[in-house]
Structure 1
Amino acid sequence: MAPDLVANETKLIDFLRTEDMNVWKAAARFCLYWKYRRQIFGVDRWLRKMTQTGHGALSSDDVAMLRTGYTALVVQPCGSTLAVIDLSRLSVFANDANTRIIFYLATVATNERSQTEGIDILHCVSGAPLPLVDTDPEGWNMIRQALPMKVKQILVAQAYDPWKDALLDSLSYQVTRTAAFKTKRNPNRIQGTSVKSVIDGLEARGIGQQFVPQSLGGWYDYSVFANWTRMRLSVEDIMGSVPVAHNAMFGRMGGPLQDRLPIHDCTPSTRANKGVSVSPRPRQLRLMATPHGQGKRPRIAVNISQVSNPGALELVQQRTELEQQNQAFREENQRLERLLALVRMFVPP
């Protein structure tokens, strides 16, 4: 396995909190996470990073389904996480893709409150058509047994519309029974005789009006989810960039630099007597005289006076290496500055 990936995406403390610091249960949950991750993501993707780029663990189809906003995570002022689920935002529901998306969200957006107390799940029923949902509970069995999070409560909120009472009652009942069968929990149905009564029922369960979608009479706008998606893409793009290769930049330059610069064939006696100039061999002079386009790769032109002085050649090589090191430091500094600026946008000082 990839030890860096395991250390970054599955911190042991997250699993310990989820299992109330029971070491054996946390270890079992940790092992099941990676077992199920391989099962649902496949051998080609299970060891890739959890990203929305399409090149990570999530496929392009998974990312497209995620970005519909059918499941949006919101962190409330108290610190608890709310999952707002509106299946009407989907035209087709894929059970396996849904499981992969929940794995992604639980991996990148988990926090201490969701591990110790659990998350709130709010199903929204607005009267819009719902896709056919697979009732196979296998995906939720994986979620319940393997992810570093708990479920605090499941709510099914029904919009108020006096002209669609029968339709809303039917859809709400359908969503409630499906959620109960898959999660093995009893969801609470929130119904009301007015929009205010629906909001009051949700607030009594700890869900503020600012986190309730507008389809139910709340203030939550899905532009917040779009901003979250852009933030995640920025973070994943920065964190997924290739780090500076210290062995290539700061160590001895392997083939390319040695091919471009002639290397002197110093005998042991010559090395012992420092300061004695060494003339290049004929082959080295031919390499330096080869025009750019006739050799296998371009060569750096070296002055003949430098060739006759090994100390000058060493200085040229050191200067080249130092310039490359300086450029690498500049690029790394810019990357860290972009990351710091992004963090300051979302983390209060």
Structure 2
Amino acid sequence: MVSHNKYHDDAPSLSALRNFEKMTIASHEYTFAFTCSAFAYTTLSLGMGGGRDRAFAQEVFKCPSREDYLLYYERSRVMAADPEADETMRHIAGEFVKNVRAAKIAALDRALEEDIPASDKAAWVEAAREAPELAASDAHKVMFLRNNDFYEIKSAAQMARYWTMRQEMFGRELAHQKITLVDLSHHRNEIDSGVMRLMRGEDESGRCVIVASMARIHAEGLTLTGLLAACWYVWHAALERPNCQENGVVLILDYKGVSGDMMKQISPYRTAAKKMIFQTLPVSVRAIHVQFGSDCGRWWRLLAPTAAFAAILFKMRCVVYNGTDEEFVVELGKHGMLAEFIPIELGGCETFDNWREWLEERQVLGI
């Protein structure tokens, strides 16, 4: 029960590219970018294989989808950062990326001004005034744009939700600064518990791996507020990695040992964490792997079709397992995840001591 994102290898047509630029770069100040990008299209098409046959093939001139536009942007971004690429091609691709970002940031600013109700964006307005380096920087805005396929209104709405939640969780003073382990010292039990953990490595696609161990929620002394603060901290630690912003996250949900009664008890955390991860944070969950274990009851297996349907709605891959840990880690390997970066309790090699050491390192660094 797997739902895949669809990616097209065909480059958009030259006329479609111009339309995309007109859509994303409305100002006449970027007229020069049209010429640069037109040339970039030709050089990138010729340079990425297929030569003239690819550049002028009939299918190149088909009506492109928005996904084609995004694919071209990603190709340009990769080309601009490729030290082995032709210098001229790198420059042109870089100019295209820079101009699209500038135009989309301007469009997001307009959306914040014109389309988001004052009550919804009040927390962001305050944060942008008090901590512009956090709330109003271009890098911060681009995270939300990338997460919403550069739809500026959706990005603006999510950014407003993000700052509202941040202020509600941590208060005005703490919300307006980078939140560190020292700031969350009163929630260290929840952080140390490892309910939510960021793995040291990444999968073969460069995606971060985060593991949620649901049975750990029942450890003594853990609070819902603290667990959500821990969730916030771990996912922001992932966002510190450039690969996370560019490639997204793989989420592993470990439900081994969770009974039906326990499921009811953890429901408030699951609901709040889901809202945080899927509606608020500027991070894309590319795939979810759910392990119920070989001793799960028969009714757990009925959740597989539901999970697959949810995956289609969220445009991600979701796989549900109810086998042994050994079988689970083998299956994860088929999806590009190395056993050395999978928790030992799921059949991998990552120990809980690694988690404690990671936290200690960040404590020393003040992050």
CA distance in 2, matches of 1:171, 1:197: 18
Aligned residue in 1 for 2:142: 13
Q: Which has the higher helix share?
A: 2
**Cα pair distance change 1:77/1:174, threshold 3 Å:** closer
SS at match of 2:366: helix
Q: Distance in 1 between matches of 2:306 and 2:365?
A: 38
Question: Which residue identity does 2:151 align to in structure 1?
Answer: N
Q: Could you say if the C-alpha distance between residues 31 and 128 of structure 1 is closer, same or farther in structure 2, counting changes exceeding 3 Å?
A: closer
Cα offset, 1:8, TM superposition: 8.0
2:171 is equivalent to residue 42 of structure 1: yes
- Compute the displacement of 1:48 (Å): 4.2
1:113-192 equivalence runs, <5 A = 113-127=243-257, 132-135=265-268, 137-160=271-294, 165-166=295-296, 187-192=318-323
> 1:195 Cα shift?
4.5
SS at match of 1:134: helix
> Is the contact made by 2:214 and 2:258 (CA closer than 8 Å) also made in structure 1?
no
SS of residue in 2 equivalent to 1:188: strand
Among residues 168, 186, 198, which one is paired with 1:60 in the alignment? 186
CA contact (8 A) 1:99 1:140 kept: no
Secondary structure of the corresponding residue to residue 220 of structure 1: coil
Instruction: Show the 5 A alignment for 1:226-241.
Output: 226-236=356-366
Instruction: Check whether the contact 2:217–2:266 (CA below 8 A) recurs between aligned residues.
Output: no
Q: Which residue of 2 aligns with 1:109?
A: 238
- 1:260-279 superposed matches below 5 A: none
* Residue ranges of structure 2 left out of the alignment (5+ in a row): 1-129
2: CA distance, partners of 1:222 / 1:6: 34
Alpha-carbon distance, 1:219 to partner: 1.4
Paired residue type of 1:102: C
Whether the aligned pair in 2 keeps the contact of 1:125 and 1:172 (CA below 8 Å) is: no
Distance 2:358 2:308 in 1: 26
- Give the conservation status (yes or no) of the 8 Å contact 2:194–2:355: yes
Aligned to 1:73: 198
Structure 2 equivalent of residue 305 of structure 1: none
State the alpha-carbon separation in 1 of the partners of residues 356 and 165 from structure 2.
29
Greater relative contact order (Cα < 8 A, sep 6+): 2
In the other structure, the counterpart of 1:313 is none
1:211 — aligned with what?
A: 341
- CA drift of 1:232 comes to 1.2
Secondary structure of 2:175's aligned partner: coil
Q: Is the 8 A contact 2:197 2:234 kept in 1?
A: no
| Whole-angstrom distance in 1 between the partners of 2:332 and 2:302 | 17
The aligned residue for residue 211 of structure 2 is 84
Amino acid of the structure 1 residue aligned with 2:288: I
Deviation at 1:177, TM superposition (A): 7.6
Q: How many residue pairs are counted as aligned between the two chains?
A: 227
Please give the alpha-carbon distance, in whole angstroms, between the structure 2 residues aligned to 1:227 and 1:176: 38
Does the residue aligned with 1:50 lie in a helix, a strand or coil? coil
Relative to the length of structure 1, the TM-score reads 0.54
Gaps of 5+ in 1: 238-349
Tell whether the 8 Å contact from 1:95 to 1:134 is kept in structure 2 after alignment.
no
RMSD of equivalent CA atoms: 3.7
Aligned counterparts of 1:166 and 1:21: Cα–Cα separation in 2: 41
State the alpha-carbon separation in 1 of the partners of residues 248 and 339 from structure 2: 20
**In structure 2, C-alpha distance between the alignment counterparts of 1:180 and 1:228, rounded to whole Å:** 36
Q: Is the 1:86–1:125 contact (alpha carbons within 8 Å) kept by the matching residues of 2? A: yes
Q: Shift in Å at residue 227 of structure 1?
A: 1.8
Bigger radius of gyration? 1
Q: Which moved more, 1:63-72 or 1:4-13?
A: 4-13
Query: Equivalent pairs: percent with the same residue?
Result: 22
